[in-house]
Amino acid sequence: MKDITKKYTNEEVTVVWKPHVCVHSEICFHGLAAVFNPNQQPWINIQGADTERIIAQVKQCPSGALSYYLNSEADTATGQAPDITAESIVEPLPNGPLLVYGNIVVKDADGHEKHRSKVTAFCRCGASSNKPYCDGTHTKINFSDKS
C-alpha cells in the first residue's frame, strides 16, 4: 500500500489520517459517527463536531492511523505541521498478559516475521502453550505479579 497521508482541517485542529497504518477497528466511527463515517466521501467530516470531541475521539485510535495537531502549533513562518508518527502502546495487565496496541512485527527465534495489528497479548506467566502469545493460562494457574 502506498504511504498516503490525508489531512482534514477546521480553523482549530487538523486531523491526520495514514491509511497504511489503519487497522479498521472502527473505534472512530462508533465513537463519533458525525465526524468519522466510512460510508461517506470524504469519510472525515471535520465540521461534524467541536474540536474537543474530535481530539478526544482521535486519541482513542488504537493504531495511530489517526492523529491530530492544533493549527496554532503549525510553524507560522513555513506553514509546516509538527511531525506526527504512529505509536505503539505497551500495557502490562495486572496478573495477566502484556498488551501491545498498534502495528508491530513479531520475529520468532528462526527469524520469521509476523505482522500484528490492533492489540497483541504476550504471555508473562510462562505457561502459555502458544508462546510468545497469551492463551489465558495465567488465569488457570493463578499467575500473580507478586510471585
Say which CATH number the domain at 61 has: 3.30.70.20
Residues in the chain: 147
Beta bridge partners of 120: 100
Cβ 132 vs Cβ 114: under 8 Å: no
Count H helices and E strands in the chain, helices first.
3, 8
Do 97 and 59 belong together in one domain? no
Which three cell numbers mark 47?
465540521
Helix then strand then coil, % of the chain, to nearest 5: 15, 25, 60
Identify the domain containing residue 24 by its residue range: 6-73
Tens-digit pLDDT profile for residues 97-138: 998 887 788 888 898 888 776 678 899 999 999 899 888 899
Beta bridge partners of 69: 14
Tens-digit pLDDT profile for residues 8-19: 999 899 999 888
Which one, of 141, 144, 125, lies nearest residue 133 by Cα? 125
Do 30 and 64 belong together in one domain? yes
Predicted local distance difference test score (pLDDT) of residue 84:
55
Tens-digit pLDDT profile for residues 67-97: 888 888 775 555 555 555 556 788 898 999 9
Would residue 80 count as lying in a domain? no
Which pTM was predicted?
0.55
Q: How many domains does the chain have?
A: 2
Domain end, chosen from 15, 49, 73, is at 73
Beta bridge partners of 70: 13
Do 117 and 64 belong together in one domain? no
* Phi and psi torsions of 115, nearest 5°: -90, 125
Sheet containing strand 13-17, strands side by side? 6-9, 13-17, 66-70
